Amino acid sequence: MSPQPPGLPEPEADDRDPALSQAFMHLLRSSQAPADFYAVVQTRLRQRQSRPRILAWLPVRHWLAPAPALVWAFLLVCSVAGNIWLGWQYLALESSPRGRLAGRTEGSPPAPAPRSIAQFQQAIQAPSGLGSLVTAHPALSTAPSTFGFTPPSRQVLYFQLGTWYAETLAYVRSHDLARTSQRLLLLRQVGSLLPAATPLIEYLEEVASLLQRQPSSGVAATWLALWETVVTDILLRSQEDEGLLWFQTGATLVNLTLASAAGDRAALQQPTRLSAFAQALPRWTVPPHVSPALARLAGLLAQPSLTEPELREVRQLAQTLQQLLS
């Protein structure tokens, strides 16, 4: 069989069954329109022509019986409005982690972005060294975090991780090798209970190794300062936005304790992520005193200058919150 030249209609074998085609034809010719067919068509046409142009799309039978059509139109409008609202909510939800982390609220000018945990700590002026302040004002007990068969919640684990991370940073900056190693061990223990633990633990092991090999070079301190970036990246990628907030809050409370203990009012003026944590608080089950304590702390930190009693109150509030949240 030779190929068909392009552009020409393909020859088609007519496999129509003449009897069947004839039967169809007879079936159609035997059909009878209703007696009022012509009249109904004419009336429908006149009614369509008399309709406002905006309703021209509506079939005639719906125009004659408008109630169901109106119900459908109402449902359609409700559906569209609902979808727009849901979309709006979804977009707000999508942008909220970043917005929350930046401590921004709707309608307010963008607040300065909070500094990293290490940067906040670096700005604290402590003549006696941050390590000694941590020893004087320990945040949490270093006892094992699990008792019996009830492990702590994931939020508490993130909070402890942030707390001990900030304390480890303070010790490593003060060259307190023994306590740094002890805190690193705690970090690894808590970190191993969390999802995506492997990269976090491996990083900490590398820091511990650097600390052993070059105890006074400061390389381990630099590596440890960058661990926050690793944590942030991993938690955001694994959709653990809330965990990140708890981690940052734990570290922030340690830093506030250290700054108030050092009497450094300027350091306390640095932006923190506590407001974002306070906004997200209704989503979690926390002791009832947390919310007022956070509000009072935020109020104190917003003041342009703090008196000595107020400094003490900041430290006490931070420590109270540490106890309540851990």
Interaction site with other proteins (CB under 8 A): 9-10, 12, 15-17, 20-46, 48, 59-62, 64-65, 68-69, 72
- Amino acid at the residue 310: E
Q: How far is the CB of 54 from other proteins (least distance, A)?
A: 16
Q: How far is the CB of 86 from other proteins (least distance, A)?
A: 26
Identity of the residue, 42 or 323, whose beta carbon is nearer to other proteins in the bound complex? 42
Q: How far is the CB of 80 from other proteins (least distance, A)?
A: 18
Kindly report the number of other CB atoms within 10 A of residue 32's CB atom.
7
- Amino acid at the residue 296: R
**b/e per residue 110-132 (b: at least 16 CB within 10 A):** eeeebebbbebbebbebeebbbb
Identity of the residue, 43 or 291, whose beta carbon is nearer to other proteins in the bound complex? 43
Q: Tokens 């936005």 correspond to what residue?
A: 241
Are 111 and 103 spatial neighbours (Cβ–Cβ below 8 Å)?
yes
Identity of the residue, 34 or 304, whose beta carbon is nearer to other proteins in the bound complex? 34
Q: How far is the CB of 52 from other proteins (least distance, A)?
A: 16
Identity of the residue, 27 or 93, whose beta carbon is nearer to other proteins in the bound complex? 27
Identity of the residue, 56 or 281, whose beta carbon is nearer to other proteins in the bound complex? 56
DSSP, collapsed to helix, strand or coil, labels residue 70 as: helix
Distance (Å, whole) CA 285 – CA 72: 43
Q: How far is the CB of 46 from other proteins (least distance, A)?
A: 8
C-alpha angle with apex 133: 129 to 139, nearest 5 degrees? 140
Q: How far is the CB of 57 from other proteins (least distance, A)?
A: 12
Query: DSSP secondary structure string, 243-305?
Result: HHHHHHHHHHHHHHHHHHHHT-HHHHTS--SHHHHHHHGGGS---TTHHHHHHHHHHHHTSSS
Q: How far is the CB of 295 from other proteins (least distance, A)?
A: 56
Identity of the residue, 32 or 305, whose beta carbon is nearer to other proteins in the bound complex? 32
Identity of the residue, 27 or 143, whose beta carbon is nearer to other proteins in the bound complex? 27
Question: If we measure between CA atoms, which residue out of 128, 102, 130 comes closest to residue 118?
Answer: 130
